[in-house]
Amino acid sequence: MNTDFDYSLVPENYVHCFNADCRHGDNCLHRLAALHAPKEPVVLRCVNPVAYPKPAGMCPHLRSADKVRLAWGISALCNEVPYGIATGLLSKIRQSFSKPTYYRILHQERPLYVEEQKMIADLFARSGTDGKPVYDRYTEEYDWKD
């Protein structure tokens, strides 16, 4: 069991799994949240323990408890790219997000998740430059998105 788990990071209304018999429970974020749940709040959202595990197959609620590398800030994103290519890249990146989301990413109020980092890396690769995306900072965190 993960002893450095900080339950205060668990999003409100996150689904917990109290199924001790699940064969994937050792590496499931829903199970990890349940194992570290405090006495308060009294009511939590959870997977119905009598519904799982199903005899065969993967639990549809399985969420990896491995931490992911999140990127924060894009102020230096194109510093290693020629100016002409950088302006086109930045334009495509702006168009890939809603205006509020783009500005939250720009000002490090929201991270770029793994799939978003991959999308930006693909834009760089298609631009014909050898440059790689450079983010302001990185953190290792649980991926709470379902």
pLDDT-based confidence at residue 2 (cuts at 50, 70, 90): low
The per-residue pLDDT for range 118-135, each reduced to its tens digit, is: 999 999 999 988 888 999
Tokens representing 4?
């450095």
Q: What is the pLDDT of residue 42?
A: 86
Global pTM reads 0.79
**What was the pLDDT predicted at 131?**
81
Measured over the CA atoms of residue 125, residue 130, residue 132 and residue 134, the dihedral's sign is negative
Summarised one tens digit per residue, pLDDT across range 77-111 is: 988 899 999 999 999 999 999 999 999 999 999 99
Q: What is the per-residue pLDDT for 64?
A: 92
Handedness of CA 52, 57, 60, 61 (dihedral sign): positive
Residue 72 pairs with which residues in a beta bridge? 137
DSSP 8-state code for residue 72: E
pLDDT, tens digit, for every residue of 35-85? 999 998 889 999 887 777 666 667 888 899 999 999 999 998 988 899 999
